[in-house]
Chain A
Amino acid sequence: MNAIYSLLLVLALVVIATLGAGAAKMQTIFAYCVPGTAFIIFVVGFVCKIISWAKRPVPFRIPTTGGQQQSLDWIVQNKWDNPSTGPQTAMRMLLEVLAFRSLFRNTKVVLKHDEGKNPVVAYVSNKWLWLFALLFHYSFLIIVVRHMRLFLQPVPQVINALEFMDGILQIYAPVLYQTDMLILAGAGFLLARRLFDAKLRYISLVNDYFPLILILAIALSGMYMRYIAKVDVMAIKEVVMGLTTFHFKAPAGIDVSFYVHLFLVSTLLVYFPFSKLMHLGGVFLSPTRNMPNDTRMLHYENPWNNPAIKPHSYEAYEDEFREPMFEAGLPLEKNPEEAA
């Protein structure tokens, strides 16, 4: 049901854009007002969220250690999975953010009920999630960078080069970008496992289906524009440059699919700071990953440390057990006569 709600929600967005920019001729609103507002909400929302996390203290250093600690000289430390210094921790974060190192560890539990034999619980390597997640995120990144050509005049060489590489297979006209296919494969896989893995279906919310379907719809509408409607890219660049240079002019002759694509992207931008998509920022602030395992070596300050919390004192302990301790011959601060 959650998946269907999400699909209907995205379809409703498509209809709104189609009717609004197409039938109702509100191109200016859909070309300038909506995306402009969405962009502001995205930036302000994103920054506010990061600040709200960052201003909260981390009372304790709680890294999850994934390898050998730094201890005796002759024992080799696993510096990337159990860092004890800042640079080592930065390396761990880099691998986490750029290569999804934790997800690479993923295993799958398999329970075999062999009649008459001893049952075995096995853990098999399961890298599909890692692979498709990586494909999805990197395709998304490359596509976003490619789109920067619409905002920049002249187009930087690096973007041209990236675009050339992305279309290096030279299939179809206009040239097919590999990332377009890969993002569909990545997002498609992520959606399919939510739908077909019973455990995942059980935990999936609208919050999980909606952004996936929305991103799929953005990719599909973009591909429709490029490969089927073959929209006028120069006209679109004029619209976009108008937006960035505040020279708004009523666009004309652009296919309605552009407005659908832009409206969906605007929705994503508005939704982003208030959703789980903030894992983009949050991964950098996770205390189990971004802290060194060094609290036996260096002092760390907890702003909430309460000096009023003290251990039950030795004096109170000896007062309670003085007699039996004396009889047992244990050393005392005060013997029973002194205490009396």
Chain B
Amino acid sequence: MAKILKPDEMLRSINYTPPATGWMETPNDLSPGRFAYPAKLDKMEYLIHEIPGQFGNPRTWNPTDDDWQLPSNWKEIVVNGFRERLDKYRSLKVFMDICVRCGACADKCHFFIGGGDPKNMPVLRAELMRSIYRGEFTLAGKILGKLTGARVMEEDVLKEWFLYFYQCTECRRCSLYCPYGIDTAEVTMMARELMHLVGININWIMEPVANCTRTGNHLGIQPHAFKDIVEFMVDDIETITGKHINVPLNEKGHEVIFITPSGDVFADPGIYTFMGYLMLFDAIGLDYTLSTYASEGGNFGLFTSADTMKALNGKMYAEANRLGAKWILGGECGHMWRVINQYMDTMNGSLQGPQMQTPVSPITGTVFSNAKQTKMVHIAEFTADLIKHGKLNLDPSRNSDIIATFHDSCNPARAMGMFEEPRYVLKNVVDNFHEMPIGTIREQTFCCAGGSGLNTDEIMDIRMRGGLPRGNALSYVQQKHGVNTMTCVCAIDRATLIPLADYWAPGVKITGLHELVGNALILDGEGERTMNLRQEPLPGFEEE
């Protein structure tokens, strides 16, 4: 990890005044720390074979080199790919045509707020592509050139795209404020697709995509290791509650298949959230199974290309069919839920087997008619319904040492609109809850600055700058209300918010929603609980 500035130095370094040179003349800064590492050759060779038509030019390359070893016809590939997407996506064409550069989006991007680089203003990020659109595809742009903000595709432009379309977390905050709804995430997705065609990519996305294809999850956990991890967690639950619970894996004939991001299986603090799920399912006697083949809820295909996203997502229905599950319950994850809510059925609806049915809670009888097409329910919706019907025996005093706030993750916020469900659950399992300031939550929420595949350590300076808005809002409630815990429903958040909180609001810990549910949940036949899921003493049981 590159050495980065101290928080107060970073704050003082922010300057919103643009440089004297015009943005087309500002040279690319490709020094270390400014970009994420390119994909490893073996991963790309594997993926070219597995998901054809998405990826070109596999090689070992280094962004600091002058020569990026592009194919000789790279310009033709990119320009033709651009033209093709303009014809296939109304969104792209309209977004290229109608921006009036009113600047309403300019100070909405977390990377701009924390860094001040004008190319991180959403309007200018889109202009990086729009300028090529004018220069290559419009008559006025071809004749008048720079005067109308037009330029032609060159190697420096491609390098600029690599820098700035991998400094966009596709969080869509800008699109909320845009009077025409121009969505920079859509522009970024298109730019990334075009770059993939000529072999420009980052490893932090491509390795998870390759792993997920082969082993079923981002982390490359193989089935037997996955089983070991689950058993390990079952043992921990027994240590904490005195109760041994049963967790079905790859079993046929259960009503529900549960799929959650693999970050919950592997990394602290996601594992505590995972334990919370398992305890919840035991408490209500849910007839479910996990799958090692579909052991990833997250989908880094969303950050790669539409077809890659489709290939990865297809495993969910394929496995539900193989195991005979009637519906799918999904764990806490951000971008996973953008995929499920806005893309899943459109891409893979035809894969649904005839055994799949509109989800009905077997405990409360609630019909999830809002999921009647995808057959997939969010665990926060599911648990909120359980609590509303009084089906859970909860003791929030076990969380009484927690003063919580809630971080809305970008995608459940702006690509779904799930605000009340997780809050309802949270307020039922903790005693103390305080919202962060209004401009930083719900649909206006700020990204953790590690979304869309950017949660890698080599760009820590960029991430901490982008994390400033979230970190500062957190620090505000930490001082005002003594908030010591930030809860979220996203696996990437659970990884990225820890360094963010350590940097901007030291002392605040990060939890998943169902970790706190697990703490408060009273299981039938459990022993006296003296510690929480982290095996730290519960309030009242601290050692003297």
| Interface residue ranges, A against B (CB under 8 Å) | 2, 5, 49, 52-54, 56-72, 74-76, 78, 81-82, 84, 96, 100, 102-103, 105-109, 111, 113, 118-121, 123, 129, 133, 193, 197-208, 274, 276, 278-279, 282-283, 285-289, 293, 295-302, 304-307, 309-314, 317-318, 320-321, 324-325, 327-331
Is A309 a contact of B222 with CB atoms below 8 Å?
no
Given contacts A200-B106, A296-B345, 18 further A-B contacts (CB under 8 A): A56-B90, A59-B346, A60-B306, A64-B176, A67-B419, A72-B381, A72-B385, A105-B444, A123-B437, A202-B124, A203-B106, A208-B100, A283-B181, A285-B94, A298-B373, A310-B314, A311-B312, A328-B224
Contact (Cβ within 8 A) A71 B370: yes
Whether A64 lies near B172 (C-beta < 8 A) is: yes
What are some 29 contacts across the A-B interface (CB < 8 A)? A56-B87, A58-B89, A60-B343, A62-B415, A69-B418, A72-B385, A75-B424, A96-B181, A103-B177, A105-B444, A111-B16, A123-B439, A129-B102, A133-B102, A198-B18, A200-B106, A203-B23, A274-B140, A276-B100, A279-B180, A286-B91, A287-B181, A302-B346, A306-B310, A307-B350, A311-B315, A312-B50, A317-B214, A325-B292
Q: Which residues of B have CB within 8 Å of A67?
A: 417, 419, 442-443
Q: Which residues of B, 113-128, contact A by the 8 Å Cβ criterion?
A: 113, 118, 121, 123-124, 127
Q: Which residues of A contact B228 (CB under 8 A)?
A: 328
Expressed in whole angstroms, the minimum distance between the Cβ of A69 and any Cβ of chain B is 3
Bound CA–CA A127/B315 (angstroms):
47
B121 touches A203 (CB 8 A): yes
What separation, in Å, do the CA atoms of A70 and B419 have in the docked complex?
Answer: 11
Complex: A279 Cα to B149 Cα, angstroms: 18
Docked CA distance A309–B350 (Å): 12
Give residues of chain B (346-368) contacting chain A, Cβ–Cβ below 8 Å. Answer: 346-347, 349-350, 366, 368
A78 touches B417 (CB 8 A): yes
- Secondary structure at chain A's binding surface: helix, strand, loop or mixed? loop
Residue of B88, B98, B381 most packed against chain A (CB within 10 A): B98
- Contacting chain A: which of B6-14, B55-63, B280-288? B6-14
Q: Which chain A residues border B149 with CB–CB below 8 Å?
A: 205-207
Q: Of residues A52, A200, A282, which shows the largest number of chain B Cβ atoms within 10 Å of its Cβ?
A: A282
Asked whether, in the complex, the Cβ of A299 is within 8 Å of the Cβ of B107, the reply is no
A105 to B444, CA, bound (A): 9
Q: Are B319 and A118 in contact (CB under 8 A)?
A: no
Chain B residue numbers with a CB within 8 Å of A65 are 413-417, 443
Q: Are B345 and A299 in contact (CB under 8 A)?
A: yes
CA distance A100 to B223 in the complex (A): 53
A14 to B381, CA, bound (A): 63
B318 in contact (CB, < 8 A): yes
Does B17 interact with chain A (Cβ within 8 Å)?
yes
- In the assembled complex, the Cα of A81 lies from the Cα of B23 at a distance in Å of 35
Decide if B311 touches A310 in the complex (CB within 8 Å): yes
Query: Which of A96, A109, A296, A312 is the one whose CB lies under 8 Å from B374?
Result: A296
Q: Are B101 and A61 in contact (CB under 8 A)?
A: no
* B468 adjacent to chain A (CB < 8 Å): yes
Contact (Cβ within 8 A) B181 A199: no
Contact A297 B101, CB 8 Å, known A305-B346, A321-B223: no
Alpha-carbon distance between A315 and B179 when the two chains are bound, in angstroms: 49
**Tier of interface size on chain B:** 35 or more
Q: Does B461 have its Cβ within 8 Å of any Cβ on chain A?
A: no
Contacting pair A203 B179 (CB below 8 A): no
Contact with A along B459-499 (1 / 0, CB 8 A): 00000000011001101100100000000000000000000
Asked if residues A203 and B341 are in contact (CB atoms below 8 Å), the reply is no
A120 partner residues in chain B, CB cutoff 8 A? 472, 476
Chain B contacts with A in 405-429, Cβ cutoff 8 A: 413-421, 424
Q: Please report the C-alpha to C-alpha distance between residue A198 and residue B18 in the assembled complex, in whole angstroms.
A: 7
Cβ of B71: which chain A residues have Cβ within 8 Å of it? none
Quick check: is B435 within 8 A (CB to CB) of the other chain? no
B147 adjacent to A289 (CB under 8 Å): no
Asked if B304 is at the interface of the complex by the 8 Å CB criterion, the answer is: no
- List residues of chain A with CB within 8 A of the CB of B153: none
Smallest Cβ-Cβ distance to B374: which chain A residue: A296
**A58 contact set on B, CB distance < 8 A:** 89-91
The chain B residue sitting closest to A66, CB to CB, is: B443
Do B94 and A111 touch across chains, with their CB atoms under 8 A apart? no
Q: List chain B residues, Cβ under 8 A from A286.
A: 91, 94-95, 98, 180-182
Indicate which residue in B181, B249, B440, B444 contacts A330 across the interface (CB closer than 8 Å): B249
Within the complex, the shortest CB–CB distance from B148 to chain A, in Å, comes to 5
Given contact pairs A60-B346, A68-B419, A309-B51, A283 touches B179 in the complex (Cβ within 8 A): yes
- Tell whether A203 pairs with B123 under 8 Å between CB atoms, given A311-B311, A330-B249: yes
**Given A60-B343, A103-B104, A276-B98 contact (CB < 8 Å):** yes
Partner of B223, one of A199, A295, A310, A325: A325
CB pair A69–B18 under 8 Å, yes or no, is: no
If the complex has contacts A199-B103, A202-B23, are A312 and B311 also in contact, measured as CB distance less than 8 A?
yes
User: Contacts A71-B370, A293-B416; is A282 near B97 (CB within 8 Å)?
Assistant: yes
- Contact: A75 with B346, CB < 8 Å? no
A72 touches B341 (CB 8 A): no
The minimal Cβ–Cβ distance linking A185 to chain B, given in whole angstroms, is 17
Asked if A53 and B94 sit within 8 Å, CB to CB, the answer is: yes
Q: Which of chain A's residues have a CB closer than 8 A to the CB of B413?
A: 65
Is B64 positioned at the interface, with any CB of A under 8 Å from its CB? no
Flag if B118 contacts A311 (CB, 8 Å).
no
A72 and B369 CA atoms in complex are apart in Å by 9
Q: Residues of A contacting B369 with CB < 8 Å?
A: 297
A307-B249 Cα distance, complex, nearest whole Å: 29
Q: Does B216 sit at the interface, judged by CB under 8 A?
A: yes
> Which of A96, A108, A317 has the most chain B CB atoms closer than 10 A to its own CB?
A317
Q: Does B393 contact A (CB under 8 A)?
A: no
The answer to whether A324 and B223 touch across the interface, beta carbons within 8 angstroms, is yes
Contact of B177 among A102, A279, A285, A297 (CB under 8 A): A102
